[in-house]
Amino acid sequence: MKKSLCLILLITLFISGSIEVNASSGALRKASIKTCNGITYGQHSSDNHWHVAEESDGKYYATGNPIYSDPCSSSGGSSNNNNSNNDSGSNSSSNNNSSGESSNNNTSNNNNTESNSSTNNNTTTNSNNGGSTSNSTTSNNTTTTKPNNSGTTSNQDTNLKEEQKNSDNTLKAILIDGKEIKISDDIEYSTTKEKVKIEATPNDEKATFEIKNNDELSIGENKVEIEVKAEDGKTKTYNIMITREVILSNDTSIKVTIDDEEVMFENNKATIYVSSSATSVTIDYELGNDKSKVEMDKLENLKTGDNPLKIKVIAEDGTEKEYEIIIHKYTKAEDIISTVLAFALLGGIGYGIYFIIKKGKKLFNKFKLGNKK
């Protein structure tokens, strides 16, 4: 009978030792309740290990096996010992030893570009009590993303900043008909040409420019624009006011007639003669350019002898030239002498003509008689 009781006792102990140890019953401390990774955990007041908590009627009760490390620690549930190796993936396991209990904690591997961490809390409890053995294993797997060595999250897209474009829309030089002009926002220029050639050089080689309204220039003011466009699209306009001036004539020529007789100038001087009976003369003139002006002395009464007459011609462009005419009035004696000389000249000319004709006839007759013989 005693042997039978001992055998039953041993069998009972053996069966109870092989059954998995469950969490102790009873409510968990409300102050210890916490939730992480979507799971709620809590502790009893009598120990420091954790249990998965289940709420019922406003209270939390332990379920499942005990957890011997804080499942919501900052390391994401991973345990005390960490070893890091560079690899394409990482595995993590936790071991804790307490009162003959064995716990294996973490080995984490981080990759510089992408890191996955898997935490396994494997708890094996071996206890011998009166020859009985109890084994308990707890496994929690958590996958997290770890930062890389530089402290930034892996797989982060890097956007290259667009290169900043130059905003310089100014000019370095302006040339008009090959002559460099001082640069300013408003420029003034004068010419007598119908068209001018304008050249421009921007300070930035990537800037462009356009010259507007530089066609045929009108007499007076003509507004020409140079629009400069920077690389970034900003524009600046330079205004050039070009004044086209009329080409003024410098013609100072003049044709003078006195009593319908043209005056022949030599080195801008000339002399004419009038009779002793003349008291005035009629003077006419014609300018080489109708925009020229004339300034002439007045002759009211001619005196015997020389009467100087000065004529000044002022051209359109302001050029001046002076002409001098001497009007000589004969004395009565000079008048008689000039008359005699005139008749003598006319008589001499007439006799000369008579002599030539007479001589010619004699020669003609001799030539005719010679042919008859």
**pLDDT tens track for 238-278:** 999 999 998 889 999 999 999 999 999 999 999 999 988 88
The model carries a pTM of 0.37
Token pair 């993590």 is found at: 92
Strand partners, 85: 109
- Provide, rounded to the nearest whole percent, the portion of the chain with pLDDT above 90: 38
Is 318 in the same domain as 342? no
Per-residue tokens: 55: 């709420």
Domain that includes residue 311, residue range? 254-330
Residue 265 is assigned to a structural domain of this protein: yes
pLDDT at residue 369 is higher than 60 = no
Neighbours of 21 (CB within 10 A): 13
3-state helix, strand, coil in the chain (%, to 5): 15, 40, 45
**230, 271: one domain:** no
Q: Of 190, 220, 244, which residue sits at a domain end? A: 244
Question: Do residues 88 and 195 both lie within one domain?
Answer: no
**32 and 104 housed in the same domain:** yes
Q: Let me know: does 291 contact 316? Beta carbons within 8 Å.
A: yes
158: in domain: no
Look at residue 63 in the predicted model and tell me its pLDDT.
Answer: 85
Q: Does residue 98 lie in a domain region?
A: yes
Q: Is residue 359 part of a domain?
A: yes
Whole-number pLDDT of residue 80: 35
Examine the pLDDT at 301 and tell me if it is beyond 90: no
By C-alpha distance, which of 212, 224, 219 is closest to 192?
A: 219
Looking at residue 66, what is its pLDDT?
Answer: 85
Once rounded to an integer, what is the mean pLDDT over residues 152-172? 69
Same domain, 201 and 268: no
Task: Supply the mean pLDDT for the chain.
Answer: 73
Number of domains in the chain: 4
**pLDDT confidence of residue 84:** 35
- Residue that is last in its domain, among 210, 244, 278: 244
> For residue 185, what pLDDT band results from cuts at 50, 70 and 90?
very high
Asked if residue 342 and residue 290 are part of one domain, the reply reads: no
Q: Which of 102-106, 175-179, 271-275, 346-350 has the lowest mean pLDDT?
A: 102-106
Distance separating alpha carbons of residues 281 and 296, to the nearest angstrom:
14
Q: Same structural domain for residues 237 and 261?
A: no
Across the beta sheet with 320-329, what order do the strands follow?
Answer: 269-274, 320-329, 305-314, 293-296
> Residue 6 domain-assigned?
no
Higher confidence at residue 31 or residue 270?
270
- 181 and 293 share a domain? no
Residues 70-128 pLDDT 10s: 888 754 443 333 333 333 333 333 333 333 333 333 333 333 333 333 334 444 434 34
β partners of residue 35? 40
Q: Is 15 contained in some domain?
A: no
Residue 103: name the closest of 78, 76, 75 by CA.
78
* 1 inside domain: no
- The DSSP code sequence of 13-68 is HHHHHHSPPPPPPSBPPGGG-EEETTEEEEE-SS-S-EEEEEEETTEEEEEEEEES
Q: Of 244, 273, 306, which closes a domain?
A: 244
